[in-house]
Structure 1
């Protein structure tokens, strides 16, 4: 908090709670000499602050030095020291950049590099999308054993969450055992924290392929593409009846 803001806060405490100036200064961590100080504003400070506020709103990523340079270009007399003092006093801030979320995945996990060694070694899963006659979006989940090329699951719904994926996998594990690895892209459902913790607890490896590289999950992509040209129209009709679409 700047000294001027502390000065305002201390004055409020004195007026609102009838405490001494000494005690109010101690509460806000303000020296009493600073509390009693009265600055003499310069004649141009009003227009300067107004323009400074406008520039800060227009250029939120600019710091006080760049704002000061713009003000000087407009004819204001302002050095870096004064600009910093006014910046602190008005509590201007440059918003912090949001850290970019690092997407998981690597080409080392591609199907042509990390091949399935046998049944239940690697299961590939992926989503595909379809539409009903009335325009409702359907989300298809397919799970394929890469070694046997067997389709283990084909689920459909308006939306599929990480919890739905865990439920589907758990049912498959009870039927035929768990795989050594699951291969997928880094979509939000597959890379969800719930999925990663659950597979880690069961000691199942997750093979996330590189971002924007669907060919690295070729078995799941190929299955989805073939289904899209053959059996999905018939399956979609049945799914619509089950979902009452």
Structure 2
């Protein structure tokens, strides 16, 4: 027989004690012992809030969830604080669940089979070993193209730099890498796709001088640069919303 779930909250245990007493006629002491409910908690009368703060906060959470469907209660908590409410995260989480709000579940896609090089030798084993970089595109209100170069550390998932411009060529890529190297040192590998800025002779010469191995993913195989693609998605959600 499959075991039922535990009665985790005091309110659920309180209701269970009442049900046991009504159905089986047992004493309060016996019912509390069975459910694991302290008798002092059972007799405690929950305080009712006199103000309408919960309803106001819930409305803020609903508005936030509608405008930011892929962000959860932790980001919504910041919106509540910015609205001037002095509440803790647990209370916001409770109201978030009571309102039935949640981040939409995205079905996990089946792993796509590619013909890439085995990843074992290129799997990062420490910070500053393997960097990954990729371009993403957006546009400003005047419909002009905006180009972003994102660079991350694959091991720590740390954001290293984002270069934003109307156009970024190989010299721009090298300039961004030089800025990071001056602060963090030289990585062992850099993972990227086969874009024209990445396969240029200028970047190849820079890598040879620095002693960096450039690791190119297979054409049409963005999942081989999955960590940077994941960062691109979150960057778009948080900073490129319209």
* Paired position in structure 1 for 2:116: 107
Give the 5 Å matches for 1:75-86: none
Length, aligned pairs only: 128
Partner Cα separation in structure 2 for residue 207 and residue 182 of structure 1: 6
Partner Cα separation in structure 1 for residue 209 and residue 184 of structure 2: 19
Partner Cα separation in structure 2 for residue 109 and residue 206 of structure 1: 15
| Contact persistence 2:134–2:151 (CA under 8 A) | yes
| Contact persistence 2:131–2:190 (CA under 8 A) | yes
Partner Cα separation in structure 1 for residue 201 and residue 240 of structure 2: 31
**For the aligned residues, what is the CA RMSD?**
1.7
Using a 3 Å threshold, how does the CA distance of structure 1 residues 109 and 143 change in structure 2: closer, same or farther?
farther
2:227 to 203, 219, 230: 219
* Paired position in structure 1 for 2:60: none
- Following superposition, the deviation at residue 122 of structure 1 comes to 0.3
Alignment TM-score, normalising by the size of structure 1: 0.50
* Paired position in structure 2 for 1:142: 150
Alignment TM-score, normalising by the size of structure 2: 0.51
* Paired position in structure 1 for 2:191: 183
CA deviations over 1:9-52 (Å, ceiling 9, x no partner) = xxxxxxxxxxxxxxxxxxxxxxxxxxxxxxxxxxxxxxxxxxxx
2:214 to 206, 210, 233: 206
Partner Cα separation in structure 2 for residue 114 and residue 170 of structure 1: 22
RCO greater where, 1 or 2, for CA within 8 Å and sep 6 or more? 1
Please, which runs of 5 or more residues in structure 2 have no aligned partner? Answer: 1-114
* Paired position in structure 2 for 1:53: none
- Following superposition, the deviation at residue 204 of structure 1 comes to 0.2
Please, which runs of 5 or more residues in structure 1 have no aligned partner? Answer: 1-105, 235-245
Give the 5 Å matches for 1:126-141: 126-141=134-149
- Following superposition, the deviation at residue 232 of structure 1 comes to 2.8
CA deviations over 1:62-93 (Å, ceiling 9, x no partner) = xxxxxxxxxxxxxxxxxxxxxxxxxxxxxxxx
2:179 is the alignment partner of 1:171: yes
Runs of 4+ in 1 over 4 A off after TM superposition: none
| Contact persistence 2:130–2:189 (CA under 8 A) | yes
* Paired position in structure 1 for 2:131: 123
CA deviations over 1:171-214 (Å, ceiling 9, x no partner) = 11011111111000010001111101110121100110000100
SS at match of 2:146: strand
* Paired position in structure 1 for 2:161: 153
- Whose radius of gyration is greater, 1 or 2? 1
- Following superposition, the deviation at residue 137 of structure 1 comes to 0.4
SS at match of 1:138: strand
Partner Cα separation in structure 2 for residue 116 and residue 126 of structure 1: 17
